A and B are shown apart, each in its own frame.
Chain A
């Protein structure tokens, strides 16, 4: 392999909750890199540490050991203010429970991160994003006037609108029916292929994971396996092989 540019990296990342005998090791020295312009999915059973890994790599939470980078920036040394700016300018989020501000309309929600940073808004780009997610006719609606799928599309558009270096998704389709899920995932795939966006997504759904270029499997705070451009069946098989029978993934 020649020089691959990494959008985000974790080196010996570890995270421990609590102390002494009751300590919980959520991450046990994880080494991982997310290549620029690629779509990565992270899978693993509940408690495997996949959400913790993502939160730490996104600057939402802090590691207890090791280091994470966004581009060349090491996050552990950043102050709260610097982390805030990093989240505002360089990272995008898509949450499971849409997480829109109920008092703002769709467009206002999408431009919120830029408004917060006092940045000039690139309206052409925002319009393009809105157009791509197919929300042009709903743009002045408040979240409670939108369906679940529409709300999640607003959330995706918000994550993309500020052209972040990397977008993290925390089970972005977890609350959606299969048809709407497919729409969102198609759109995320398109964002990677056509716009060159880097996306990392935590998911329980093997079908969702099959949209990714690469799937990482976590168990007990460690990366235990990975697949390149898998199809859903291969993912099912992998899960079955990794799991201890009764301990099933996707226990939602």
Chain B
């Protein structure tokens, strides 16, 4: 038995290797997702541990319910002396730590920043047992000095003693002397840059009023128990502060990173599942063909006493061996995939910290189980079919017989109908929330794929026949042969084509989605932007200090200036996003589509009014004149009257708007998300812009864009996202590609006699090659057309399911669709290369004498 399986595998090595590649690619993607996520997690865990390696306890503010900014809540630094005076405490140091606030500039005036990770600015009192920083060169910074990490120094070409221009959030850039170079922990910074100041200097640079800090790190005096230390500190802490052990702090940090990494890893796994889904079609197809080819041999085995279950076991064992092999190769291939993914995301604008790639035991188990399951699952049907082969097949003369279509129709319909139902329910059903909607659509799509794949055999023959007409018209008899071969075994054509279908359907779906997103965005820009210029943080759209608003307002070239601040507030006891902006000037910058009431003027929001997004107002049952209670970060609470209902929230990005004068005094940090402005009457755009850029040049992280540039940048961002997604989906196409190679090679073997005959009656090698190539093209185009059709359906479904505030228009990227079709056809040509060559090389006599 096993001997038969082993010999069978050796004999069919070539075609099984192609199957193996299909499984391996899917498995490697799964493995790679785990490896990448685990490696990232390990790096960040190390960074967190390093940061607090010498610390016994940390004091910080209790995480507030509302926090509009990114920074920790600050408290009075005089507490440090009190803590240091405790008997249990050996050393206490207060500090401030913020990110993306100050930047060094290189000789060209460009800010120095890593492509993905953040730039941290922190206070540092020099080397201490509680500090994760160590001096590599020079001294700790004092006064108008900074210390930076080595990576930053080399990126900016800084040396100790250099004078460096540093961008600060409060005004013009300042000159600092580089006092020293620092290193962080044992595992490096994970790619982030650090700029260190002494505490008073950092407070001044950040515009912090008074001696405010955001944390105190503490080491215990010798012989003091950790719990005693925490208890002693806890008893002296004022309200609103808490003390954490170093383990708690580390766990807290790791959890924050972990959440992000989990999301990232799960997205990758999602793609991996899609690739595996495609591989299932390929594996199934290969096994089905292998069984079909061996019908006579299976009949022989049956006639000399092999039982049906022995035959079934034989096919399944073959699958298990392939599954195990693919899992092992895929496991290590995953390291390669992880590396590729890192590259892919780097081109997408991000960057990954360097670190060793990790294969955890969990990864090995999951990968082997998944690889085995997928292969066995795909081989079950062919195995059952093999076990049903009659012993009489041994004496019957050649040729596979057509299988009944009835089962296929019933099964296909049984899958397709609920699939479409779920799809439609996801689009139009009464579902709360976007995520469940998309889940229904995703599940429905998977079933629809399966259903279409099963049923496509019904029309694959006719479709291939029609699609082959041009081939016949162009190529005459060779085209005719290609057309006939593509249409004569509809089940094989369908199985090959559907693997390609899924890959192209997903890519088309994504294209429709992004095109729709861009169309929607264009429309929003068209209708709602009246500003001449926008100012915002270039890299990640982070908030920045509102001091720039007054500076811009002071320019004679500038007409109206409005800052928009994203604020977290409680509206009637529920935490909500609120956009606070200068409502008296706001309408000259954006049009939020007021449908009822007014935002500006005597009846406008003013200090005691609020505007509500129409859909939100409907949900909450709010109307003009109703009263709501707002609570801000510092606990300030007041009643507001609903004075406006608006329906365009793309730019303000929140379901509530209030005046910025209401919120500014009550925020921890008075930042804005972006600033919009118009030129004063009669000012030429280039003159106005030059004046504005003169001001913003002090804030090197800020960028100035007009409407067109803004639009272009958004298109670029969406385009990059599309590249990353397509990069992931291309793997589906690769798997599908191997599927075509496999099917073509197998169908050539099946037709060896016929090919010999064609050669015997005078077909040239070139003609034979052409015929095989065109056959592949016909199958590939059939699959591509199916895929594009399915992709349009999917994209449309997703656009309908996603709320109108994100995407409201359906856009069809016609040009891309044509390109995808061509790519599909080219895939066919390339995939046919090897099988076509092989068919053409076949010796005429061998081919005829085969068996």
Contact = CB atoms under 8 A, between A and B. Distances in A.
Interface of A: 51, 55, 60-61, 80-81, 84-85, 87-89, 93, 95-97, 99, 101-104, 108, 112-113, 115-117, 158, 170
Contacts of B394: 60, 93, 95, 99
Contacts of A60: 303, 391-392, 394-395
Interface stretch (B5-13, B415-423, B732-740): B5-13
5 contacts: A89-B305, A108-B3, A115-B3, A116-B307, A117-B305
Nearest to B304: A113
Contacts of A84: 302, 305-308
A96 B396 CA distance: 11
Contact of B300 (A85, A99, A108, A117): A99
B305 A101 contact: no
B144 interface: no
B301 interface: yes
Contacts of A55: 392, 395
Contacts of B174: none
B302 to A, nearest CB: 7
A95 B395 CA distance: 7
Contact of A116 (B296, B305, B391): B305
Contact of A85 (B4, B8, B305): B305
A61 B296 CA distance: 16
Contacts of A104: 3-4, 7
B4 A80 contact: no
B764 interface: no
B224 interface: no
A233 B708 CA distance: 103
Q: Which applies to chain B's interface (DSSP): helix, strand, loop or mixed?
A: helix
Interface in B65-95: none
Contacts of B1: 115-116
A106 B300 CA distance: 15
A104 B722 CA distance: 53
B805 interface: no
A51 B395 CA distance: 10
A116 B301 contact: yes
Chain B interface category by residue count: 20 to 34
A59 B403 CA distance: 24
A130 B839 CA distance: 39
Nearest to B391: A60
Which are the 9 A-B pairs with shortest beta-carbon distances? A88-B305, A103-B7, A84-B307, A113-B304, A103-B11, A87-B305, A113-B305, A60-B391, A116-B306
B851 to A, nearest CB: 8
B629 interface: no
A158 B304 contact: yes
A97 B396 CA distance: 10
A204 B303 CA distance: 23
Contacts of B391: 60, 87
B384 to A, nearest CB: 14
B392 A101 contact: no
Given A60-B395, A93-B303, A104-B4, 10 more contacts: A60-B303, A60-B391, A81-B308, A99-B300, A99-B394, A102-B11, A103-B4, A103-B10, A104-B7, A116-B304
Nearest to A105: B7
Nearest to A92: B304
Nearest to A55: B392
Nearest to A112: B304
Nearest to B2: A115
B847 to A, nearest CB: 15
A81 B3 contact: no
A88 B302 CA distance: 9
Given A55-B395, A60-B391, A95-B394, A87 B304 contact: yes
Nearest to B310: A116
A170 B303 CA distance: 13
B294 to A, nearest CB: 10
Contacts of B310: 116
Interface in B264-319: 296-297, 300-308, 310
B297 to A, nearest CB: 6
Interface string B660-678: 0000000000000000000
Nearest to A54: B395
Nearest to B398: A97
A84 B312 CA distance: 14
B820 to A, nearest CB: 42
- Among B297, B306, B310, chain A packs the most CB atoms within 10 A around the CB of B306
Contacts of A89: 305
Contacts of A115: 1, 3
A113 B1 CA distance: 10
Contacts of B307: 81, 84-85, 116
Interface in B619-646: none
A89 B305 CA distance: 7
Given A87-B391, A95-B395, A103 B8 contact: yes
A101 B301 contact: yes
Interface in B159-173: none
Contacts of B7: 103-104
Interface in B394-441: 394-395
A80 B851 CA distance: 30
A230 to B, nearest CB: 26
A201 to B, nearest CB: 14
A61 B392 contact: yes
Nearest to B394: A99
A93 B524 CA distance: 80
Contacts of A88: 304-306
B300 to A, nearest CB: 5
A88 B303 CA distance: 8
Contacts of B11: 102-103
A116 B304 CA distance: 9
Contacts of A80: 308
A96 B303 CA distance: 14
Nearest to A117: B305
Contacts of A170: 395
A243 to B, nearest CB: 24
- Among B3, B307, B394, B851, chain A packs the most CB atoms within 10 A around the CB of B307
Interface string B724-753: 000000000000000000000000000000
Contacts of B306: 84, 88, 116
Nearest to A168: B303
A63 to B, nearest CB: 14
